[in-house]
């Protein structure tokens, strides 16, 4: 188990360093001058050059990368070029909103997908099965940038049940979480159905039924527990994506999370903030997937023994 953990942690560090370097290089290749954006088009060349020198943007790219990586290893993410605030304070302020939205969307997806996929597997080829697969198809096909405005039109503008946008209370979380959770529920429901169908044909399931166990006990204590591994994998991958900042959903609902912060920083050419946001997104994604691998190995010893 220790060798498995070491290999996963080592690969995590390599991936994060690679992502940070690639993002740093790509951002500096994006057209546009942050100094020009900060001072405006009427700024004098001497003022532009002075600010560029003060920010270190006149140094060679390799030197800028080295200073950034050195500060990063010391826990210093730098300051925003736009607001002059420490970037770590900006991330601390924004990340809880993304975390809240991600877990709310994940809870909605699980609450929808587990019963829907289980019923579809237990009632194969019935109207329940066909209905759940239609829901899955619609959930995967409908994009967030369409579903979000439709939910706003129906539940906010027409019925007046929920706020249109912002993060002002529990009710403001419902529509963005539902927008995120629907697509995930569609994917998860299909996974639950296919995995349960495979497990329900195993010999130990027939043995449990032959012993006279209730169908609910057979499904919950035997089938679902053995079908949990691929479901956990999908949940881990999707949670990493959600923690990465559901950019479209956050923009639609004006949700003050990492996704909206990233878009704002890109528009302002605020390189340090963009780099920090991408670093946080990639780190969240990689860490969640690493934890998923560890849980997978803990549940199934064959995984860690194969490493």
Rounded Cα distance between 277 and 257, Å, is 10
Instruction: Give residue 50's pLDDT.
Output: 77
Residue 255 lies in a domain: yes
pLDDT of residue 33: 65
Is residue 64 a part of any domain in this protein?
A: no
Do the domain assignments include residue 121?
A: yes
What span, in angstroms and rounded, lies between the C-alpha atoms of 35 and 281? Answer: 26
pLDDT tens, 157-192? 888 888 888 888 788 888 998 888 888 888 888 888
Residue 79 lies in a domain: no
CATH number at residue 139: 1.10.3720.10
pLDDT band at 263 (very low <50, low <70, confident <90, very high): confident
For residue 48, tell me if it sits in a domain: no
What pLDDT is stored for residue 244 in this prediction?
Answer: 60
Whether 88 is covered by a domain: the verdict is no
Mean pLDDT of 201-216: 75
Return the higher-pLDDT residue of 1 and 113.
113
Give which of 133, 113, 128 is closest to 238, Cα–Cα. 113
Structural domain total, the chain: 1
Q: What is the pLDDT of residue 300?
A: 61
Report if residue 54 sits inside a domain. no
Angstrom distance (rounded) from CA 208 to CA 184: 32
pLDDT at position 71 is: 79
Nearest residue to 279 via CA among 15, 11, 81 = 15
| pLDDT more than 70, % of the chain | 86
Which pLDDT band, with edges at 50, 70 and 90, does 246 fall under? confident
If pLDDT is split at 50, 70 and 90, which confidence band does 2 have? low
How far is 195 from 193, CA to CA, in rounded Å?
6
Structural domain contains residue 218: yes
Contact call for residues 135 and 115 (beta carbons, < 8 A): no
The fraction of the chain above a pLDDT of 90, given in percent, is: 0
282/111: higher pLDDT: 111
Domain span at 129:
95-305
């Amino acid at each position: 188990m220790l060798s498995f953990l070491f290999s996963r942690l080592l690969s995590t560090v390599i991936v994060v360093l690679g992502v940070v370097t690639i993002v740093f290089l790509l951002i500096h290749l994006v057209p546009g001058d942050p100094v020009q954006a900060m001072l405006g088009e009427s700024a004098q060349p001497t003022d532009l050059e002075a600010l560029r020198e003060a920010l270190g943007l006149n140094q060679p790219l390799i030197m800028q990368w080295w200073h950034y990586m050195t500060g990063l290893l010391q826990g210093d993410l730098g300051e925003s070029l736009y607001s002059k605030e420490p970037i770590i304070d900006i991330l601390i302020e924004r990340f809880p909103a993304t975390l809240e939205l991600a877990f709310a969307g994940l809870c909605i997806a699980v609450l929808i997908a587990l019963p829907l996929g289980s019923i579809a597997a237990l009632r194969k080829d019935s109207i329940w099965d066909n209905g759940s697969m239609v829901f899955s198809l619609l959930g995967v096909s409908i994009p967030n940038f369409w579903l979000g405005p439709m939910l706003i039109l129906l539940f906010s503008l027409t019925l007046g049940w929920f706020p249109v946008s912002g993060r002002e209370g529990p009710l403001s979380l419902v529509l963005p979480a539902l927008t995120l959770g629907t697509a995930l529920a569609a994917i998860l429901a299909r996974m639950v159905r296919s995995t349960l169908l495979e497990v329900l044909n195993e010999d130990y399931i027939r043995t449990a039924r032959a012993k006279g166990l209730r169908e609910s006990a057979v499904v919950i204590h035997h089938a679902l527990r053995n079908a949990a591994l691929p479901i956990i994998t999908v949940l881990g991958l999707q949670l990493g994506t959600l923690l990465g900042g559901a950019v479209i959903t956050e923009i639609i609902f004006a949700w003050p999370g990492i996704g909206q912060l990233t878009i704002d920083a890109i528009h302002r050419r605020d390189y340090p903030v963009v780099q920090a946001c991408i670093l946080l997104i990639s780190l969240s994604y990689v860490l969640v997937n690493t934890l998923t691998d560890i849980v997978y190995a803990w549940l199934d010893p064959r995984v860690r023994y194969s490493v």
